[in-house]
Amino acid sequence: MSKLTLFIGILVFGMVQAQNMEKDSTAKKVVFIIVDGISADQLKTADTPYLDQIGGLGGYTEAYVGGGKDTYSETPTISAVGYNSLITGTWANKHNVWGNEIKAPNYNYPTIFRLYKDQYPNGTIGVFSSWLDNRTKLVGDGMEETGGIRVDYHFDGLEHDSINFPHDVQRNFMKLIDYTVADHAAETILEKAPDVSWVYLEFSDDMGHGFGDGDRFNAAIHFEDKLIGKIWMAVEERQASHNEEWLFIVTTDHGRGAKDGKHHGGQSERERSTWIVTNSKQTNPYFNERIPAVVDILPTMTDFLEIKVPIHIRWEWDGVSLVQPVDAIDLKAKRKGNNLVVSWQNLSEGEGKLYLSGTNDFKSGGKDDYKFMDTVILGKGEVEIPMRKIPKGFCKLVLETEHTTLNTWFSEE
């Protein structure tokens, strides 16, 4: 055999292997749906046969938004803020979206779409939304700051079309927009099967603002459930006719005001109250027995898609997986006399390693210099560190265990 023949053979073999790897990478697919502004208690009063069916196959849990109440990570219970918390796995103190104006997102905290495209550049992503800004500002479609990421399939911006969707005071036009968005999403999923898809539905929140708690709002939730069902049936058909496994997640971005359900944005229990429904049968005890957060959805998707997320990014996440083992949650740091008390809730036994950085260079696109501090026993739930070992003013701490990474900030300002 000549060297040229051998070289060509190796090259062809490599191309075949690469194609097979690409096929394997697209065998798992994700759809996540945000249906706007439905608190957990309101969901329970509405007729939602499709969500019930999906949750029956997989699982349902109450959840929360709003970050750590009265802490550095407290996050407004506002729509765009909640969306960005989901797709970046971080609270607003990191992703820097504080309102629906989306003034200055910090793109150094990558979205699920960037993480996926970084590993699978030939994979496809989709955004189907009644709000154009979700793709153009949050995902950052085509922006230099997001590495020029391109959304392969998108259907959005209909809120600006007042000819085909004449705007009325009671916002019934948004009902038609949601129907059209869901119809297009279902069709694209059925025919093109993007590897990661985001569907956003708004009408329920509009009815909450306009009419508050009651029959009108319940009817809107029932309507959105039908649209979710349409998308779910497309996924079921794909799974039945193709060699694909789909993770299907439905959630909401915020709850509702305690008085009458018309408002949101604050930190009341009901405004922070949300929920998650999924078809996954692999949900862990944290999902099944605790109250997870919207930021937990991103690590769940990356785990399912087997994305190898760089450690310096994972150490910034505020969420943990809902489908893989979780060793600990709720990392906190508080000064007590001459010591810094670092505490957590352990969900398993074993050890963890505690790291500390006195910088926050990740925020501006750099990397932080973490130093090993101590090996901790998870069952003890806390460890004390002398303040003389803590940088003055500010530091970040990371607890890394066999299955879990947690982080927290400490500031004396």
241 and 159 share one domain: yes
Asked whether residue 342 is assigned to any structural domain, the reply reads yes
pLDDT at res. 17: 45
Asked whether residue 320 is assigned to any structural domain, the reply reads no
Asked whether residue 318 is assigned to any structural domain, the reply reads no
Query: Domain containing 403: what range?
Result: 328-411
232 and 83 share one domain: yes
Asked whether residue 9 is assigned to any structural domain, the reply reads no
Asked whether residue 216 is assigned to any structural domain, the reply reads yes
CA gap 296, 310 in Å, rounded: 17
pLDDT at res. 11: 45
266 and 378 share one domain: no
The angle that helices 172-191 and 215-241 make with each other, rounded to 10 degrees, is 10
184 and 232 share one domain: yes
Asked whether residue 13 is assigned to any structural domain, the reply reads no
What CATH number should be reported for the domain holding residue 106?
3.40.720.10
pLDDT at res. 413: 73
119 and 158 share one domain: yes
Asked whether residue 10 is assigned to any structural domain, the reply reads no
pLDDT at res. 22: 45
176 and 281 share one domain: yes
pLDDT at res. 390: 96
303 and 344 share one domain: no
Q: Which residues of the chain have pLDDT under 50?
A: 3-25
140 and 181 share one domain: yes
pLDDT at res. 2: 54
pTM: 0.93
Number of residues assigned to the chain: 413
219 and 302 share one domain: yes
337 and 293 share one domain: no
Number of domains the chain is built from:
2
190 and 335 share one domain: no
What CATH number should be reported for the domain holding residue 344?
2.60.40.10
Condensed to tens digits (0 to 9), the pLDDT of residues 322-366 reads 999 999 999 999 999 999 999 999 999 999 999 999 999 999 999
147 and 55 share one domain: yes
